Homo-oligomer: A and B are copies of this chain.
Amino acid sequence: MNYQHILNSIEASLKGENLNGKVPDYIPELANVSADKFGMHLYCASGDHFAFGDSEERFSIQSISKVFTLALAKKYGGTKIWKRVRVEPSGGPFNSLLQLENENGIPRNPFINAGSLVIADILISNLENPKKYLLEFVQKITGDPTIDYDYEVADSEEKNGYRNRGLVNYMKSLGNIENDVEEIVDFYFHQCSLKMSCHQLAKAFMLFANEGRMLETDELILKKNNVKRLNAVMQTCGFYDEAGEFSYRVGLPGKSGVGGGIAAIHPMEYSVAVWSPPLNKKGNSQKGMIALEQLTSMTESSIF
């Protein structure tokens, strides 16, 4: 299927539109990105791909990285990870402490900060050098060895990341953290600082659309069964307190980041990534969500 005219139509309807979203300002590296950036890249299971706008420019993928670390934790941490983090939608903001307190330090899902910090802890316990391992994993599944952490972003978050330290300390007090607090937040801030383009993200997410296999080589990277479950978690938990809204309007498993990126997949059909920095009140890319809603409306291709 040729998606180019659909992407063109999305670009035409949204490019230059000044919606009321806001570029986050809590660290300078994110605040300084232009609000006008807008790009999209779609990869078909057939190998064809389509794009528009700033689809080759790299940006801070932030929480989208949580999908990669969860994939690694499934691979190396086994099923016992579900004793330390659940798979339920949070019904609250992404960095909430409330539910941790009500639920004995077991985060609701691996895509809220608390949950991803537990996943970081699991990777530190199971991998020799998780920071290096994660980077190589992402380089491999994108076929691009130039992908790297943005060390300034990581550094900036380390200087201000008291809330995440609060979460880790609190979970450690409840017995759900094994490793050193600073080691965990260091890994976590690095994973969030990964810089990737829409093109690279779409390629990486093809793994989840393609039952765990690399598209070009057919190499099996993740078990099919694990991929199905990762996708289920993206569907119910991928958009903070807007997961239901995204499921309702877009109807695809996906994951967003405060850098303005969203990656999503239609199993066996396509993977897609979109980037537009201004966020809506729930912390998801405002234009990105509309773009994906237009995509599944025009193609009538939601998973439902």
* A positions within 8 Å CB-CB of B: 86-92, 96-101, 108-109, 160-163, 165-170, 172-174, 177, 181, 224, 227-229, 231-233, 235-237, 241-245, 247-248, 251, 253, 267, 300, 302-304
Can you list 25 A-B pairs with a CB-CB distance of less than 8 A?
A: A87-B244, A87-B247, A87-B248, A88-B91, A88-B241, A88-B242, A88-B243, A88-B245, A91-B91, A91-B99, A97-B97, A97-B101, A160-B173, A162-B172, A162-B177, A163-B169, A165-B166, A166-B168, A166-B169, A227-B304, A228-B251, A232-B247, A232-B251, A236-B247, A303-B304
CB distance from A250 to the nearest CB of B (A): 9
Chain B CB within 10 A, most for which of A162, A224, A229? A162
Residues of chain B within 8 A (CB-CB) of A253 are 304
CB distance from A92 to the nearest CB of B (A): 6
A192, B180: Cα distance in complex, Å: 25
Q: Which of B89, B98, B229, B267 contacts A236 (CB 8 A)?
A: B89
A276, B235: Cα distance in complex, Å: 27
The main secondary structure of chain A at its interface with chain B is: helix
A51, B228: Cα distance in complex, Å: 26
Closest B residue by C-beta to A160: B173
Closest B residue by C-beta to A267: B304
Is the CB–CB distance between B162 and A267 below 8 Å?
A: no
Residues of chain B within 8 A (CB-CB) of A241 are 88
Residues of chain B within 8 A (CB-CB) of A304 are 227-229, 231-232, 235, 253, 267, 303
Residues of chain B within 8 A (CB-CB) of A300 are 224
Closest 5 pairs between A and B when the two form their complex, measured CB to CB: A91-B91, A166-B170, A89-B89, A163-B173, A166-B169
Is the CB–CB distance between B97 and A244 below 8 Å?
A: no
Residues of chain B within 8 A (CB-CB) of A174 are 163
Is the CB–CB distance between A244 and B236 below 8 Å?
A: yes
Residues of chain B within 8 A (CB-CB) of A233 are 244, 247-248
CB distance from A258 to the nearest CB of B (A): 15
Chain B CB within 10 A, most for which of A161, A170, A233, A245? A170
Is the CB–CB distance between B173 and A162 below 8 Å?
A: yes
A251, B235: Cα distance in complex, Å: 10
Is the CB–CB distance between A243 and B89 below 8 Å?
A: yes
